[in-house]
């Protein structure tokens, strides 16, 4: 089983961040509204407050880069990091077998007695979780870097970090290990990748999600930590992950991501038929209404009989090709709507059908799962 690891390198903007560490006047941050809690915390013996909040203004791109000078381990895929436009959404980007989260946070430390802002730093992290079509093991990779540090948070040992993972029912979470320090401008990768194992009943499926808690600490036991960081104030969940033993073997996917049936240009008559049908308003083209897999063999037969009845003449060496395909809920009988048919070479029809079978197997396409068809 191939495992995707992380090796992230710093951009010039982060390497030059040291120039900001000499700033003598620290401006207000997203944590300043917690000042009304200082007196109460001081009475509880908390001399300082470490506050985590969204950054006021994000850098133009991720401090962590998708390129790396190291050959082993390889870098994260480009779609995870580039382009950076989605970073402001604080949301997971997904593919069928992976999810990636990029985020920034400002960490500030205050004196509860004087109310003074003693130090501040910025944290950029990337979280990648991968899965496989033939395994019930999920793979977690996490990298974090801090920069633009000043005041008490400028020293390399001023911040310690720990990631705690948990898993929903039916899933056993791995352990990212003990807390580590976060030196300025030094990417920290929690590697090797952490595995989580999903327990799936025979011939069944299970939908799970992993949940993560970022724990930042400041030296000394007299510091209170307050987290105002999205997507939630506290632990944050991964997208839903579905694992099944319904198809051949066992594997996991992110079901909300619809895969695309492609490679049909090898079958020009079939691809031309699909292109014409989609241009005429039938669903399935990427970016329009998707198709949905139909697993019921009896319903598939009814779809095929309505679109391509046996009495329909077939020229020698040709068969009837229907669109939307009989193995979809948008088929002629199950949808009760419009459909298209064309006579195409038998070998092409069989080849295109094999492509769809491969999509079902390798993308773990279960009944009613959405997918696109790209004839180009």
Task: Give the span between the Cα atoms of 274 and 328, in whole angstroms.
Answer: 14
Q: Give the DSSP H/E element, type plus range, for residue 146.
A: strand 137-151
Query: Which residues fall within 8 angstroms of residue 308, CB to CB, at 6 or more apart?
Result: 319, 320, 321, 322, 341
Model confidence over 151-173: pLDDT tens digits? 998 888 888 888 888 899 899 98
Chain-wide mean pLDDT for the chain? 82
For the chain, the maximum distance between any two Cα atoms, rounded to a whole number of angstroms, is 91
SS (H, E, C) 213-267: EEEEECCCCCEEEEECCCCCCCCEECCCEEEECCCCCCEEECCCCCCEECCHHHC
Q: What confidence tens digit (pLDDT) does each residue in 219-270 have?
A: 876 778 777 655 445 577 889 999 999 999 999 999 999 999 999 999 999 9
Confidence band of 306 (pLDDT split at 50, 70, 90): very high
Candidates 77, 96, 90; CA nearest to 8 is 77
Please write the tens of the pLDDT for every residue from 89-111.
457 889 999 998 888 888 889 99
| Tokens standing for residue 36 | 């009304």
Partner residues linked to 104 by β-bridges: 124
Model pTM? 0.82
> pLDDT per residue over 113-162, tens digit each?
999 999 988 888 888 899 999 999 998 888 888 888 899 988 888 888 88
Asked if pLDDT for residue 188 goes beyond 50, the answer is yes
Q: How far apart are CA 213 and CA 92, in angstroms?
A: 16
Tell me if the bond preceding 83 is cis, omega within 30° of 0: yes
Query: How is the chain split among helix, strand and coil, in percent rounded to 5?
Result: 20, 35, 45
- Burial label for 56, CB within 10 Å (0-12, 13-18, 19+), is exposed
The pLDDT, as a whole number, for residue 191 is 54
Here the tokens at position 216 are 């930042």
**What gap in Å lies between CA 323 and CA 326, rounded to an integer?**
7
SS3 call for 86: helix
CA distance 281 to 283: 6
pLDDT of residue 73: 39
If you compute the radius of gyration of the chain from its CA atoms, what whole number of angstroms results?
Answer: 27
Q: Which residue has the tokens 């790209």?
A: 374
Distance, first Cα to last Cα, the chain: 32
């Amino acid at each position: 089983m191939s495992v995707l690891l992380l090796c992230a390198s710093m951009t010039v903007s982060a390497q030059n961040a040291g120039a900001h560490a000499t700033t003598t006047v620290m401006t207000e941050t997203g944590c300043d509204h917690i000042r009304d809690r200082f007196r109460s915390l001081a009475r509880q013996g908390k001399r300082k407050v470490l506050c985590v909040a969204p950054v006021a203004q994000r850098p133009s791109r991720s401090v962590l880069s998708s390129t790396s000078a190291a050959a082993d381990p390889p870098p994260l895929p480009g779609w995870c990091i580039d382009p950076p436009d989605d970073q402001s959404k604080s949301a997971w980007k997904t593919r069928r077998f992976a999810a990636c989260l990029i985020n920034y946070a400002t960490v500030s430390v205050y004196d509860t007695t004087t109310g003074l802002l003693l130090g501040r730093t910025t944290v950029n992290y990337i979280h990648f979780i991968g899965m496989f079509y033939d395994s019930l093991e999920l793979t977690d990779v996490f990298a974090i870097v801090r920069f633009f540090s000043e005041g008490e948070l400028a020293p390399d040992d001023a911040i310690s970090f720990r990631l705690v993972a948990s898993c929903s029912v039916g899933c056993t979470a791995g352990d990212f290990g003990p807390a580590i320090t976060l030196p300025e401008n030094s990417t920290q990768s929690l590697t090797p990748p952490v595995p989580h194992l999903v327990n799936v009943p025979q011939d069944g499926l299970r939908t799970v999600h992993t949940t993560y808690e970022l724990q930042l600490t400041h030296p000394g036991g007299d510091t209170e930590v307050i987290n105002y960081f999205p997507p939630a104030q506290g632990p944050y969940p991964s997208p839903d992950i579905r694992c099944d033993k319904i198809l051949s073997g066992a594997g996991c996917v992110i079901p909300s991501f619809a895969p695309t049936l492609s490679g049909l240009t090898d079958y020009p008559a079939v691809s031309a038929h699909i292109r014409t049908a989609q241009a005429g308003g039938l669903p399935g083209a990427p970016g329009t209404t998707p198709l949905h897999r139909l697993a019921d063999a009896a319903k598939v037969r009814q779809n095929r009989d309505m679109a391509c009845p046996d009495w329909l003449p077939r020229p020698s060496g040709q068969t009837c090709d229907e669109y939307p395909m009989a193995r979809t809920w948008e088929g002629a009988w199950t949808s009760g709507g419009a459909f298209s048919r064309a006579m195409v070479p038998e070998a092409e029809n069989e080849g295109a059908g094999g492509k769809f079978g491969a999509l079902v197997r390798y993308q773990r396409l279960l009944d009613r799962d959405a997918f696109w068809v790209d004839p180009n």
